[in-house]
Chains A and B, each alone.
Chain A
């Protein structure tokens, strides 16, 4: 067993335990902080998969921005400990969804056929150009249109948030 497998196993244990803590913790702040830990583990996976840009974005966007948002919401709404009693139907539904997802993943892993790397972007290319640079180039060439559409999407999201949440409109 080489060092990277040991490291992978270690990160996986932390990821699973912290993910379980997200749903089992009684205090919402503890749940939120466990979620941060899960995000860090995911970032570690990306780094291990030779995708440093993804790892950085995962930490900046999810562990940083989104978590701050969640913690702020918890504090502003003043959610008390144990206020969110988890109903039995919620546990049942969650378990069913979990099992279905697990089966799906199992099916894909055992029956899916990915014999060799596919597509135009090879690991040679990534090593030569660098992961971040490659993403930038693809984003402004092949995916220029989706990239531009994102700006309209964000505009709609901002305008929509103002309409739905502003206290008093003219």
Chain B
């Protein structure tokens, strides 16, 4: 095994990882800029990050329609990866926009926030593009470790400390499962490249090979933890409640999509031969996740906790599409993850605005009277709530429609029915916010909080993103279908 340097460099195509390179370099540069530019306000770092994120987005889009692999098949640039990279960049961009106002208010406006958001995004993008177990693992670790820091970023808040600590301990535990599974699969097949594993699955006996089967399930456990599916959802409410609100927004959209991206690539590329096994498991988990998420959310007064349970329920809806394994269901996941990013971060942007220092007012009751005092903001929140509840004509409705019709196509009629019933139950707690905003009188002394320009921009983008795909879904859906075709 002699190294031929010329041959080695032929396998490296830096264009494939160019978005990751841009964000990594920008992140490192911003760390330095933060030290050498003495400025109390860190808003300029947010704008610089945003420029980098948009730039990375443009670079990523140019590869649409092509499939190029690089680094000796460690990483690939295909439609699937690009679609997910767009979701991550969008989540990062929106999170960056809503961060400055919140962090200034909470007195934890440290410039390191933005580089860490960028590094998280790099990790997620590597997960979606990885075609090698080692790359998947390192992408996941890069994402997770950055997220632990982001969750505990508000050092003076005990809740934020608790969130960071809890997420770290449980996250490290789940990583153990993932790594155990990867080790078993490597033991059976002798390779970490997923294309090679895929070609060996049937040869080594498929589901009849217990080691392979256990390896697959252990890996799934690791990812199910990241997407907050029941019964691995215990960490979600505490972490989402304790973490700084913009970071909650970010971690409810980005990492969830990254977990789905890797799960989709693994199960659909590597283990299609074992579909009977994983499909049944995901069926049960989808029902469990939806039901646990929705019925616990019904009882929540704290709006961040409510959205945490709602995010568990949304992972359940996506698992419905996953269990079906049909093109409609899987492209539905892509569509849904993108729309979910818009509507969920939008809702959290409103929470950022309503909140006061230390967040004493995090309950649904604090939204009383908002419809009269801040009609436009209340309207935006209504759009997000309707979209999360899955009412037409929002993106949430179309997304759920495709997820459930995927299940019907695959013959899982009951799964679709349970999904629709769950969706109906969820309307209660989303509408409750709207009822408080419009039909309950607010307190006499209304705090006229300011809406800074970046947050306003984030709200407009999120509202547009929650509405437009609902009215004209065909274009976005076409992209989603092209993306799942190529994996």
Contact = CB atoms under 8 A, between A and B. Distances in A.
Interface string B91-117: 000000000000000000010100110
B134 A143 contact: yes
A113 to B, nearest CB: 5
A87 interface: no
Interface in A152-170: 152-153, 155-157, 159-160, 162-164, 169-170
Interface stretch (B51-59, B184-192, B308-316, B463-471): B184-192
A141 interface: yes
Contacts of B214: 104, 107-108, 112
Contacts of A134: 1
Interface of A is mostly: helix
A151 B324 CA distance: 39
B264 interface: no
* Range, interface on chain A: 35 or more
Given A120-B191, A163-B110, A156 B71 contact: no
Interface string A138-150: 0011111110011
A35 B333 CA distance: 45
Contact of B132 (A121, A146, A157, A162): A146
Interface in A74-96: none
**Central interface residue in A113, A117, A162, by most chain B CB within 10 Å:** A113
Interface string B184-205: 1001111100000000100011
A144 B210 CA distance: 32
B1 A129 contact: yes
A118 to B, nearest CB: 3
Given A149-B138, A149-B139, A156 B146 contact: yes
A36 to B, nearest CB: 21
B169 to A, nearest CB: 14
Given A145-B75, A149-B142, A163-B153, A155 B188 contact: no
A118 B189 contact: yes
A121 to B, nearest CB: 8
A157 B149 CA distance: 9
B452 interface: no
**Central interface residue in B119, B137, B153, by most chain A CB within 10 Å:** B119
Given A108-B214, A129-B1, A118 B188 contact: yes
A156 B119 contact: yes
A152 B25 CA distance: 10
Interface string B128-160: 000010110111011001101100110100000
Contact of A108 (B145, B155, B190, B210): B210
Contacts of B132: 143, 145-146
B177 to A, nearest CB: 11
B326 interface: no
A159 B112 contact: yes
B134 A114 contact: no
A137 B1 contact: yes
Contacts of A129: 1
A144 B184 CA distance: 22
A69 to B, nearest CB: 16
B126 interface: yes
Contacts of A112: 184, 188, 209-211, 214
A128 to B, nearest CB: 9
A26 B12 CA distance: 54
Nearest to B212: A112
Nearest to B134: A146
Contacts, number: 116
A144 B138 CA distance: 12
B210 A107 contact: yes
Contact of B110 (A107, A121, A125, A169): A169
A108 B184 contact: yes
Contacts of B282: none
Given A156-B116, A156-B142, A163-B149, A113 B134 contact: no
A29 to B, nearest CB: 23
A144 B116 CA distance: 23
A84 B37 CA distance: 46
Contacts of A169: 110, 155
Contacts of B137: 146
A129 B1 CA distance: 8
Interface string B1-14: 10100001000100
Contact of B148 (A118, A120, A160): A160
B190 A117 contact: yes
A169 B108 CA distance: 9
Given A143-B134, A163-B153, A119 B190 contact: yes
Contact of B164 (A137, A141, A164, A170): A164
B28 interface: yes
B71 A145 contact: yes
A146 B187 contact: no
Given A118-B188, A129-B1, A141-B72, 19 more contacts: A113-B188, A113-B205, A113-B210, A118-B200, A125-B1, A140-B3, A144-B12, A145-B71, A145-B75, A146-B134, A146-B137, A152-B24, A152-B119, A156-B146, A157-B145, A160-B116, A163-B153, A163-B155, A169-B110
Interface of B: 1, 3, 8, 12, 17, 24, 28, 31, 70-72, 74-75, 110, 112, 115-116, 119, 122, 126, 132, 134-135, 137-139, 141-142, 145-146, 148-149, 152-153, 155, 164, 184, 187-191, 200, 204-205, 208-211, 214
5 contacts: A113-B211, A118-B189, A159-B115, A164-B152, A169-B155
Instruction: Across the A-B interface, give the 10 residue pairs with the lowest CB-CB distance, nearest first.
Output: A119-B190, A112-B211, A118-B190, A160-B149, A111-B210, A145-B71, A146-B134, A149-B138, A145-B74, A146-B138
